[in-house]
Structure 1
C-alpha cells in the first residue's frame, strides 16, 4: 500500500526522520519546514526514494496550515486506498486525523517519528493473563472463516486489513508489505497457514512472534467478515420489511450497497442523493434507515 508521510520538520527535526533510510518504493516523504528550521540533514536527499521538501513562510501556524492543506490535496488525488501519516509531536493534528476518519478515511494517523526497521518488541504478558485462544482453536477458526476462494476484491481487502493492523502493531512498512505478500499468496491454499508460516520463517528471525501476530490479525479479519455477513443479512431483511414501493425496489441493490459501504452518516445521505433527484424520497429513506446507521459517525 502506498504511504504518504507529511513531516512537520519544525516540530520533530532530524530526530523525527532518523529512520528515513528504511523507506520503501511505496513510501513518499513530504518534509515541511520554514526558514526557522531549515537545517535538514542534506544526506536524506541522496537517498533513492520519493522525498520532497516544502519551504513555507515563517508565520504563526503557517507550517501547520500548509501541511494540512497538502494533506487534503493528497486525499483528493489518491483517495482511501493509501495511508497518510503526519509526523509531529503536536497533538493538535489529532483533531485533523479525527475529522478525516469521520469522513471515511481510516488510514490516517499521527506519529512522533518515522517508523524504522527495529525488531518489534513484544510486551511481557502479566502473570495470570490468559492467551486469546489456544493454537488449535485459532487455526480452526481461521481455516473455517477463510474456507472460500478469495477473488481480486477480497484479496485487496485482506491486504489492506493486514497492512493496517501490522503498522498499528509497530511493524515498519517494508516488513508489513512482505508479510502481506506472503498472506495474499497463500490465502487460497488448502494449507494456507502452513504456507504463511514457512515464508515468514525464512524471512524473520523472530518468526514465531510475527506468525503469532498474523494469526491474531487473521482471526480479527474472519470475525470482521462474519459481522459483515450478519449486517448484510440484517440490512436486506430490513429493506424487505420497510421498502415495498416500486420507487424503492427499483434501486434496491444500490440502496443496500450504499448503507453497507458507508463509513459515515453523511456518506449514506450523499449516496442516496446520487440515486434520487427527489429530496423527499432521499429524506424518507434516510429517516427510515436510522436504526441501521446509528453506529456510524456523524449527525
Structure 2
C-alpha cells in the first residue's frame, strides 16, 4: 500500500523523523516547515535522490503550517483516494479532529503519529545510551509491582488498555501488534506475579520477546507514575476538605465536591459543577473561595 507522510516539522523537528532512512519506495514524504524551523537534517537531502521526499516551506503566521498541511492532505486524498494510507507526523492532537473527520467521510487509512513509525527496536537503539543495570531492573520491577497492587476492574482495565495501546503505537508498534500485546497485559493485570506471567507469555509468542517485554515495562512504569500523581492529588484534596469543610451542608456532599475538583479542567468547570450541586449562591461562593489553593493551577479566572 502506498503511504503518504505529512510531517509537521515545526512541531516534531528532527526527532520526529529520526528513522526516516528506513522508508521504502512505496512511502512518500512531505515535510512542512517555516523559517522558524528549517534546520532539517542534511542527510535527508541525500535520501531524496532515490526516495520521494518533498519539502514545503510555508509562511510564518498563526497556524499557517497546520492549514497548509491539512490543505495538502485534502489534495492527496482527492488525487490518490481511499486505497492509500496517510499519516500525519505531529504531537499536536488538534490534528485528531481532521483524522476523525476524514475517517467518517470514508477514508479509513488515515492516522496521526508522534514519530516516524519505524520499528520499535530501531528507535530504541538510537535513543538508548546506557543499559539498565540489574539493580535498576529490580527497582523498576518493584515500582511497577507496587503501583499495580490493586484490583483492576471495568474502567481501570480500560484505562490501562488505552494507556498501553497509545504507548506501544507511539514507539512504533502497529495496531495489530499493540492489540495482541495488550491482551496479554490485561489478562495478567490482577495476577500476583504479573510481570513474570507477562514475560512467559511473550516468550512463547514473540521472537523478540525480550524487546517487547522491556517496552511494556517502560510503558507500565509511566502508567504507575501517572496513577501515583492522581492518587497524590486526590489525597491532597481529601485532606484539604477535612480541614476546611466540617459543617453538615458540606459533609453531606463531600464526594460530589471532591470529584468536581478532581475532574474539572478549568476553574469555570469547577464553578459550574458547584452551581449544579447547590442552589444557594452563597454556599457556592464560600466553597469556591475556600478551594482556591487547590485549583490555582487550573486555567480561567
What TM-score comes out, normalization by structure 1 length?
0.61
Q: Say whether 1:260 aligns with 2:300.
A: no
Q: Which residue of 2 aligns with 1:55?
A: none
Q: Say whether 1:138 aligns with 2:178.
A: no
Q: Which runs of 5+ in 2 are unaligned?
A: 9-26, 31-70, 98-110
Contact 2:260 2:270 in 1 (8 A): yes
Q: Which residue of 2 aligns with 1:243?
A: 245
| Distance in 1, Cα, partners of 2:141 & 2:272 | 41
- CA shift digits 1:66-91 (9 cap, x unpaired): xxxxxxxxxxxxxxxxxxxx9546x7
Q: 1:272 aligns with which of 261, 274, 291?
A: 274
What TM-score comes out, normalization by structure 2 length?
0.60
Report the RMSD for the aligned CA atoms in angstroms.
Answer: 4.2
Contact 1:120 1:171 in 2 (8 A): no
Tell which has more relative contact order, 1 or 2 (C-alpha 8 A, sep 6+): 1
Q: 2:161 aligns with which of 147, 159, 162?
A: 159
> How far off its partner does 1:161 sit?
2.0
| Distance in 2, Cα, partners of 1:130 & 1:119 | 16
- CA shift digits 1:206-230 (9 cap, x unpaired): 3212211211222222233233222
Contact 2:168 2:178 in 1 (8 A): yes
Distance 1:213 1:247, change over 3 A: same
> How far off its partner does 1:120 sit?
4.3
| Distance in 2, Cα, partners of 1:125 & 1:94 | 22
Q: Which residue of 2 aligns with 1:39?
A: 79
Q: Say whether 1:168 aligns with 2:170.
A: yes
Q: Which runs of 5+ in 1 are unaligned?
A: 1-6, 18-30, 45-50, 52-85, 100-108
